[in-house]
């Protein structure tokens, strides 16, 4: 869906995320700027909040943001996607490549959203993502309350009687996106993330570790144990925890200009 920047006139294309519950066909849809991992997982969180709970299993498409390696029997999920699934205690079983029937409910949901929401909005001009989502939300309510043609009731009624009682309650706190990367510790016992260096214990030099970057914290894990935590910085620089330094470096950091002058005097004599 096109969204126009009011100040520049530039047109950006928003992506439409669709999620459908299995028994009732109760549908959720929203617009995001991209199919990147933060937008993809953020849409999952908002879908769960819209449903008021979580199902036992998710059947997503083989989107690169969610599935690192597609496989017929043992797909490899992105670590952040795995973390979201663990947070909400849901299993993730991606559809097999080129097997749309594996996610037939979602495929039909996309078709309904295209016909009953996107088609109705195609002649409107939107100047923000929030404005577009406001209109999608109104039409989504209408879609879910629309009576079935060949069966009694509506998606809303079937949801309340079938899917809603089977959903698992949401956890106390919503999932917060965490960027998870593997990295090798530099010889100076620091790792770089987003142009900022963060220290880890010096004995981990040369080891491969896992870096978890949230909005506020940077955490480093080695062998499934957290070995360092830093407040995230959004500017170039270096953050060093004194306890991570070798003894020689820690002593050197305690030197003052006077100490340096005195050592220089000793060397000259």
- 154: pLDDT confidence band, cut at 50, 70 and 90? very high
Q: How much is the average pLDDT of 2-23? A: 93
Instruction: Name the pTM for this structure.
Output: 0.80
- 96: pLDDT confidence band, cut at 50, 70 and 90? confident
Look at 95 and 21; give whichever has higher pLDDT: 21
The full set of domain ranges for the chain reads: 2-166, 179-248
pLDDT in tens, 47-92: 999 999 999 999 988 776 666 655 555 667 788 888 999 999 999 8
Q: HEC string of 93-120?
A: CCCCCCCHHHHHHHHHHHHHHHHHHHHH
Tokens of 155: 């998606």
Spatial CA neighbour of 179 closest among 207, 215, 204:
215
pLDDT reading at 268 higher than 60: no
Q: How much is the average pLDDT of 248-266? A: 56
pLDDT in tens, 198-226: 999 999 999 999 999 998 999 999 998 99
pLDDT in tens, 103-147: 888 999 999 999 999 999 999 999 999 999 999 999 999 999 999
2-166 folds as Nucleotidyltransferase; domain 5 (3.30.420)
Measured between alpha carbons, how far is 2 from 5 in angstroms, rounded to an integer?
10
- 269: pLDDT confidence band, cut at 50, 70 and 90? very low
């Amino acid at each position: 869906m096109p969204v126009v920047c009011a100040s520049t006139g530039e047109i950006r294309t928003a992506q439409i995320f669709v999620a459908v519950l299995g028994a009732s066909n109760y549908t959720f849809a929203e617009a995001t700027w991209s199919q990147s991992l933060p937008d993809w997982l953020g849409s999952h969180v908002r879908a769960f909040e819209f449903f008021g709970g979580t199902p036992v299993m998710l059947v997503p498409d083989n989107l690169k943001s969610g599935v690192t390696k597609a496989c017929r029997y043992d797909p490899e999920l992105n670590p952040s996607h795995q973390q979201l699934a663990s947070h909400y205690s849901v299993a993730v079983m991606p559809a097999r490549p080129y097997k749309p029937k594996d996610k037939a409910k979602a495929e039909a949901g996309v078709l309904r959203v295209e016909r009953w929401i996107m088609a109705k909005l195609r002649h409107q001009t939107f100047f923000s993502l929030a404005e577009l989502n406001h209109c999608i939300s109104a039409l989504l309510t209408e879609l879910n309350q629309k009576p079935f043609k060949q069966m009694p009731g509506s998606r809303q009624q079937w949801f309340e009687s079938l899917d809603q009682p089977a959903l698992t309650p949401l956890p106390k706190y919503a999932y917060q996106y965490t960027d998870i990367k593997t990295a090798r510790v530099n010889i100076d016992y620091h790792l770089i993330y987003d142009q900022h260096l963060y220290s880890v214990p010096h004995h981990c030099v040369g080891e491969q570790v896992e870096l978890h970057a949230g909005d506020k914290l940077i955490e480093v894990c080695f062998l499934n144990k957290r070995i360092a935590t830093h407040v995230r910085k959004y500017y170039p620089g270096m953050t060093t925890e004194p306890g991570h330094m070798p003894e020689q470096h820690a002593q050197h950091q305690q030197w003052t200009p006077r100490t340096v002058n005195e050592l220089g005097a000793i060397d000259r004599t």
